[in-house]
């Protein structure tokens, strides 16, 4: 059997994790496309039989060569160069869903179909149209495919089940989510004040931390509980459907995570929950002109109100939030 015609067959929900594993193993063939194998499985192109990645079967399959990119697909469909200038330059694959911003793009449905052709592991393309209100509810529209907005996304071994029409998921925060697993130690007690579907709770719990997780929104809370079970960490996650300020932290914790842009409004509760010498991680959307005075100043002021001090351990920009505004994190020890 020619290596150039091999394909590994996996269940469709496992495709994203399998591709990442095959890439790590060094046998994924990114010159050919992923395509459906049958109603429930997909064929992933490989250069050799995988020895470390769990697959259902390895078959001979003439998977077509991958076209060079979105522009090439649209150009082959007759798009003019002027229209191609308005085509999005980036998008994100989250499980079986492609998320894309098509604002100002002509014929977005055609772009959606082209993205499905480009990503055979996906079955739905959603247009991102913004985030509504303090609860950060996503506004999306189905552009192409089956229209199934519920999916399971895998990052660094952590599995996130979610409905992208109901809960927010930011692919640009991947490094920060994964990084929390490296920052905690096994046995640490952590208070995740804005847990969502488990963005930070899950990687920390998988690293051995005991996490008290608060989430007010019913849908996000449901996924938080389901995801703890999905990742086998339900014994290390104590989930509350409540405003984090109303959660009674009976024993001071080693670490507090505040992963919401309005988290500074709960800084007093966060400092009160921390043991002496505990660490606080404050996320904020900060105007570039106010880096780093505003986020650091807010942590210092909260500590001062509690009669405590602050040692800034790290401060970093996660990603751009909007024009002139950055998503930042301040890590601080509070003696």
Give the residue carrying structure tokens 């409905």. Answer: 163
Q: Dihedrals φ, ψ of 114, to 5°?
A: -65, -35
3-state secondary structure of 306: coil
Same fold, 70-148 and 167-334: no
Answer yes or no: are the C-beta atoms of 98 and 90 closer than 8 Å.
no
Determine whether the annotation assigns residue 183 to a binding site: no
- Residue-wise pLDDT for 145-185, tens only, equals 999 999 999 999 999 999 999 998 998 899 999 999 999 99
Name the fold adopted by 70-148. GMP Synthetase; Chain A, domain 3 (3.30.300)
- Burial-class residue 148 by CB neighbours within 10 Å (0-12, 13-18, 19+): middle
Ordered by start, the domain boundaries in the chain are 3-60, 70-148, 167-334
Which residues have CB under 8 Å from 183's CB, separation 6+? 255, 279, 281, 331
Question: Is the pLDDT confidence value at 131 over 80?
Answer: no
What percent of the chain is modeled with pLDDT above 90?
77
What pLDDT shows up at residue 63? 85
Q: Pick from 311, 262, 312, 301: which is nearest to 284 by CA?
A: 262
Mean pLDDT score, 109-125 = 93
Determine whether the annotation assigns residue 170 to a binding site: yes
Question: Is the pLDDT confidence value at 66 over 80?
Answer: no
Determine whether the annotation assigns residue 177 to a binding site: yes
Q: Dihedrals φ, ψ of 110, to 5°?
A: -65, -35
Domain range 167-334, its CATH number among 3.30.470.20, 3.40.1640.10, 3.40.50.150, 3.40.50.720: 3.40.50.150
pTM of structure: 0.83
What pLDDT shows up at residue 2? 44
CA 232 to CA 293: how far, in whole Å? Answer: 40
Reported as a pLDDT band with limits 50, 70 and 90, residue 61 is confident
- Which region, left, alpha or beta, applies to residue 322 given φ > 0 means left and ψ of -120 to 50 means alpha? beta
Which residues have CB under 8 Å from 200's CB, separation 6+? 176, 177, 180, 192, 257, 259
């Amino acid at each position: 059997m020619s290596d150039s015609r091999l394909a590994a067959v996996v269940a469709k929900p496992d495709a994203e994790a399998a591709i990442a594993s095959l890439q790590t193993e060094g046998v994924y063939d990114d010159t050919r496309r992923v395509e459906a194998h049958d109603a429930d499985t997909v064929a992933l192109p490989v250069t050799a039989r995988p020895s470390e990645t769990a697959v259902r079967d390895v078959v001979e399959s003439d998977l077509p060569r991958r076209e060079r990119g979105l522009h090439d697909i649209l150009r082959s469909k007759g798009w003019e160069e002027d229209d191609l200038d308005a085509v999005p330059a980036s998008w994100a694959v989250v499980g079986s869903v492609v998320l894309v911003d098509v604002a100002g793009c002509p014929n977005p449905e055609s772009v959606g179909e082209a993205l499905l052709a480009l990503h055979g592991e996906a079955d739905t393309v959603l247009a991102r149209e913004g985030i509504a209100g303090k609860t950060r509810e996503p506004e999306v529209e189905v552009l192409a495919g089956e229209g199934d907005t519920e999916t399971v996304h895998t990052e660094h071994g952590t599995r996130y089940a979610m409905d992208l029409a109901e809960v927010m998921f930011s692919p640009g925060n991947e490094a920060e989510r994964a990084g929390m697993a490296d920052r905690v130690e096994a046995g640490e007690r952590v208070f995740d004040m804005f847990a969502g579907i488990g963005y930070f709770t899950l990687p920390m719990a998988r690293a051995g931390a005991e996490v008290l997780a608060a989430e007010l929104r019913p849908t996000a809370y449901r996924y938080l509980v389901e995801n703890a079970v999905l990742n086998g960490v339900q014994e290390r996650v104590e989930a509350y459907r409540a405003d984090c300020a109303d959660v009674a932290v009976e024993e001071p914790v080693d670490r507090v995570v505040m992963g919401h842009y309005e988290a500074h409004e709960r800084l007093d509760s966060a400092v009160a929950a921390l043991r002496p010498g505990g660490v606080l991680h404050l996320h904020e959307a900060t105007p570039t002109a106010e880096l780093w005075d505003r986020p650091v100043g807010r942590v210092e002021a909260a500590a001062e109100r509690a009669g405590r001090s602050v040692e800034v351990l790290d401060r970093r920009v996660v990603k751009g939030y909007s024009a002139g505004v950055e998503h930042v994190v301040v890590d601080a020890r509070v003696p």
